[in-house]
Chain A
């Protein structure tokens, strides 16, 4: 009997006739049997757990690391008036102001040929929010405060083209033939 039948046995690759021959060989030949047991023991070790893939939600989830804090309350050197102006400006720039219990999430998409990019999601009330082009890198980004829980969104490009976030694996068909990405946000305590 060929030695490689041991591996085929371990890997469930023997057909019925081969199984008959194999069982007979194991029965007759003690050395063959021992070789089998040794390799089966080794297989347990080979298949032993080496690690778990930790990232449940890829890339974009990792990018959101900033906890929502009121950093912009820090008084500026120019005094209270400047601070007020900054604060108002900040809220104007920010379409969705970050509140307590929200996670500031940065959405990024690579669309070098797009003339514009917007994001729509449950957190924008499904109305498009413009994304900002990052230099001439081809990337567009926007940061939005998200409450804890599951969120659905997609990107809108020119001509009403809608695409899901290519870096997020969890997706769902929407009711209009498009696709939404799903992310989970958890707020660190």
Chain B
């Protein structure tokens, strides 16, 4: 039963963490850690994707926080860029989106990454990101429009 949950959500969670972090290896590590934690703490419950995404999100935020406190500004800048090794493995259109997402605010990037990857409802996304349901509608749309502006600006 857990295997089914795992196969159904591993790529989604990976997609979310990759869009949010722009870092292939970090995303892969956190997928692993997220499922392990989920299994340790919530194995007995009915499977809940929103909980899994919350765990993944928190692990990534923890990582970013720790990384920030121990590195210089320049390192952070470097950490923000999509790792080069991965760039060659993904298609052009996906690469454009990942680059555009990096130019957005953290919250906008978070919301759009959740939206594109998780299959979760507005209500669940609002809960995970700490927004009200009324507020999330507006924020989601605003983020989409902003992404459009950035992508248009990127075009040659």
- Please list the residues of chain A having a beta carbon within 8 angstroms of any beta carbon in chain B: 3-4, 6-8, 10-11, 13, 38-39, 42-43, 45-55, 58-59, 166-167, 169-171
- A-facing mask of B1-14, CB < 8 A → 1, else 0? 01100100011011
CA distance A10 to B11 in the complex (A): 21
Q: Which of B32, B94, B141 contacts A4 (CB 8 A)?
A: B141
B105 adjacent to chain A (CB < 8 Å)? no
Q: Which residues of A contact B2 (CB under 8 A)?
A: 169-171
Q: A11-B115, A42-B151, A169-B2 are in contact. Are A48 and B93 (CB under 8 A)?
A: yes
Q: A38-B148, A42-B151, A54-B28 are in contact. Are A47 and B14 (CB under 8 A)?
A: no
> Which of B33-41, B45-53, B57-65, B69-77 lies at the interface?
B33-41
CA distance A4 to B136 in the complex (A): 10
Q: Which residues of B contact A59 (CB under 8 A)?
A: 32, 36
CA distance A45 to B98 in the complex (A): 10
Q: A38-B148, A58-B32, A171-B2 are in contact. Are A13 and B137 (CB under 8 A)?
A: yes
By the criterion CB–CB under 8 Å, are A11 and B24 in contact? no
By the criterion CB–CB under 8 Å, are A7 and B6 in contact? no
Residue of B nearest to A53 (CB): B14
Q: Which residues of A contact B140 (CB under 8 A)?
A: 4, 7, 11
Q: Which of B19, B31, B137, B151 contacts A7 (CB 8 A)?
A: B137
Q: Which residues of B contact A42 (CB under 8 A)?
A: 144, 147-148, 151
By the criterion CB–CB under 8 Å, are B6 and A169 in contact? yes
Residue of A nearest to B139 (CB): A4
Question: A-B contact count, CB below 8 Å?
Answer: 98
29 contacts between A and B (CB under 8 A): A4-B138, A4-B140, A7-B144, A8-B137, A11-B122, A13-B122, A13-B137, A39-B145, A39-B148, A43-B116, A45-B96, A45-B97, A45-B151, A46-B112, A46-B115, A46-B116, A48-B91, A49-B15, A49-B91, A50-B19, A51-B15, A51-B86, A53-B10, A53-B28, A53-B31, A166-B36, A166-B39, A169-B36, A170-B3
Name B131-156 residues within 8 Å CB distance of A.
137-138, 140-142, 144-145, 147-148, 151
By the criterion CB–CB under 8 Å, are B90 and A46 in contact? no
CA distance A111 to B15 in the complex (A): 33
CA distance A53 to B143 in the complex (A): 26
Q: Which of B18, B112, B151 contacts A50 (CB 8 A)?
A: B18
Give min CB distance, A111 to chain B, whole Å. Answer: 14
Q: Which residues of A contact B84 (CB under 8 A)?
A: none
Task: List 10 A-B pairs, minimum CB-CB distance, nearest first.
Answer: A4-B141, A53-B14, A7-B141, A48-B94, A58-B32, A53-B10, A46-B116, A50-B94, A4-B137, A7-B140
B121 adjacent to chain A (CB < 8 Å)? yes
Give min CB distance, A75 to chain B, whole Å. Answer: 41
By the criterion CB–CB under 8 Å, are A53 and B144 in contact? no
Q: A48-B97, A50-B90 are in contact. Are A3 and B36 (CB under 8 A)?
A: no
